[in-house]
Amino acid sequence: MSDLLLKNIAFLGGVDTEGKSIRKGAEMKDFTVIENAFLLVSKGKIIDFGKMENAPERATRVVDASGKTVLPGWCDSHTHIVFAGSREKEFVDKIKGLSYEEIAKRGGGILNSAKLMETASEESLLESAFLRLGEIKDMGTTSVEIKSGYGLSLESELKMLRVIKKLKSISPVQIKSTFLGAHAFPMEFREKKDAYVDLIIDKMLPQIADEGLADYCDVFCDRGFFSVEQTDRILQAAAKYNMPPKIHANELDFSGGIQVGVKNNALSVDHLECVGEEEIAVLKNSKTMATLLPSTAFYLGMEYAPARKMIDSGLPVAIASDYNPGSSPSGNMPFVVSLSCIKMKMLPEEALNAATINGAYAMGFEKNAGSITKGKRADFFITKKIPSVDFIPYAFGSSLIESVFIEGQLQ
């Protein structure tokens, strides 16, 4: 007998019977929904689903989901949830008129977080990050990528990555880890930036690879941060250790970040507020996922990425929360989905694909997560009674998620 049967599901969404690993362009509108459905789980995996008339009679555990919607758990492919303290002082500075870049120039921003990181213990970091993981899980996130990048020294970067490794072993949410030593230049390297790049390449990457601490490598390739040349050097070095790029690009300017990311076979390039015809053309000839972070644009009061134009050009798009203490202090994926519809003119189906299957691809989880597919992990959430799937982005700010299951277990 199967472990778990969900029956009378009003809308079972994100169904994929073809095993697609991404949805791009016009396909992003295909978010298959079965009405009046069942879902069957055994040993943590989805083993069957379909119309209620074909549902099995019995299972060890039966959940009646009448009137409710079931969707695959969110795949949040870009976060920085290991950090040592909040930055609401900068929040107030921004309200008073300072820009994100001005705050960074004064030694605030990422450097502020790096200072707090220096003295934080591994235990306290683990405890606070675990709480944040619990918080995003309650909002429906079941797969997540977590970056380092508030260390900016060998010791502190290792400390952050060890915390992420520990989280992988204790959290039901499945996690990928990304080394982001190239997040900002530490103060003492301001006048000798290439020396910091050398430190990353010669000291940090080898030890991180040695301890098996990172799945991917990230660089903040943008105006005032890492140049295209520096990014290229770091990504080429990371490739030797089997750490594909997932990089921050084109948030502040047409930085060349997308081009250098694609050149180095990036799994994803993220942010992309500054995207034109050339960037779209480069992405079209690649396997790189364009990942948009609308809650960052919202929080910083910036232009949103041109999602509509990108999708209409045939590109796949993922959306993620960028949960971090400086530019998006929230991991609320339902809100990210709403923002994508409201501010980037994505259709609900497009935003839902972007937050599930395309997010899964953007962190290498497309084979086991991101859709309701036989053989994938039984990671999903059940909503309250709602009239349609579109109601999820429409009712922005409402808490619609009633329960979350990971590998078939109620969380």
The nearest distance, CB 323 to Fe ion, in angstroms, is 9
The nearest distance, CB 224 to ligand NIG, in angstroms, is 11
Alpha carbon distance 368, 377 (integer Å): 6
The nearest distance, CB 113 to ligand NIG, in angstroms, is 5
Q: How far is CA 404 from CA 138, 141, 343, in A?
A: 7, 8, 27
- Does 327 bind ligand NIG (CB under 6 A)? Our answer is yes
- Does 151 bind ligand NIG (CB under 6 A)? Our answer is no
Sorted by sequence, the CB contacts under 8 Å of residue 381 that are 6+ apart come out as 70, 71, 73, 140, 142, 401, 402, 403, 404, 405
By CB under 6 A, what part of segment 210-229 binds ligand NIG? 220
Helix residue ranges per DSSP H, 120-211 = 122-138, 154-170, 193-199, 205-210
> How remote is the C-alpha of 282 from its chain's centroid?
22
Residue number with CB closer to Fe ion (268 or 383): 268
- Among Fe ion, ligand NIG, none, the one that 330 touches (CB under a kind-dependent 5 to 8 A) is none
- Does 376 bind ligand NIG (CB under 6 A)? Our answer is no
Share in percent of the chain as helix, strand, coil (round to 5): 40, 25, 35
Q: Which of 124, 130, 128, 100 is nearest to 112 (CA)?
A: 100
- Among ligand NIG, Fe ion, none, the one that 76 touches (CB under a kind-dependent 5 to 8 A) is none
The nearest distance, CB 384 to Fe ion, in angstroms, is 31
Residue number with CB closer to ligand NIG (69 or 113): 113
Alpha carbon distance 137, 256 (integer Å): 35
Residue number with CB closer to Fe ion (146 or 378): 146
Name the 3-class secondary structure at 14. strand
- Does 322 bind Fe ion (CB under 5 A)? Our answer is yes
Alpha carbon distance 104, 83 (integer Å): 17
The continuous run of DSSP H or E covering 407 comes out as: none
- Among ligand NIG, Fe ion, none, the one that 145 touches (CB under a kind-dependent 5 to 8 A) is none
Residue whose token pair is 């959306």: 319
- Among ligand NIG, Fe ion, none, the one that 220 touches (CB under a kind-dependent 5 to 8 A) is ligand NIG
Cα dihedral 187/190/196/198 (nearest 10): -160
- Among ligand NIG, Fe ion, none, the one that 109 touches (CB under a kind-dependent 5 to 8 A) is ligand NIG
- Among Fe ion, ligand NIG, none, the one that 327 touches (CB under a kind-dependent 5 to 8 A) is ligand NIG
Q: Which of 286, 301, 378 is nearest to 45 (CA)?
A: 378
- Does 325 bind ligand NIG (CB under 6 A)? Our answer is yes
The answer to whether 145 touches 138, Cβ cutoff 8 Å, is: no
Using the rule CB under 6 A, give the single segment among 33-41, 106-114, 372-380, 382-390 that binds ligand NIG: 106-114
Number of residues that bind ligand NIG (CB under 6 A): 12
Residue number with CB closer to ligand NIG (145 or 349): 145
**Near ligand NIG by CB under 6 A: residue from 157, 251, 366, 379:** 251
- Among Fe ion, ligand NIG, none, the one that 325 touches (CB under a kind-dependent 5 to 8 A) is ligand NIG
- Does 222 bind Fe ion (CB under 5 A)? Our answer is no
Q: Which amino acid appears at position 312 of this protein?
A: D
Using the rule CB under 5 A, give the single segment among 130-138, 172-180, 318-326, 399-407 that binds Fe ion: 318-326
The nearest distance, CB 107 to ligand NIG, in angstroms, is 13
DSSP bridge pairs for 381: 71, 404
Residue 201 has φ and ψ, to the nearest 5°, of -75, -45
- Using only the alpha carbons of the chain, give its radius of gyration: 21
- Does 296 bind ligand NIG (CB under 6 A)? Our answer is yes
Using the rule CB under 6 A, give the single segment among 105-113, 273-281, 339-347, 359-367 that binds ligand NIG: 105-113
The contact set with ligand NIG (CB under 6 A) reads 109-110, 113, 220, 248, 251, 296, 322, 324-327
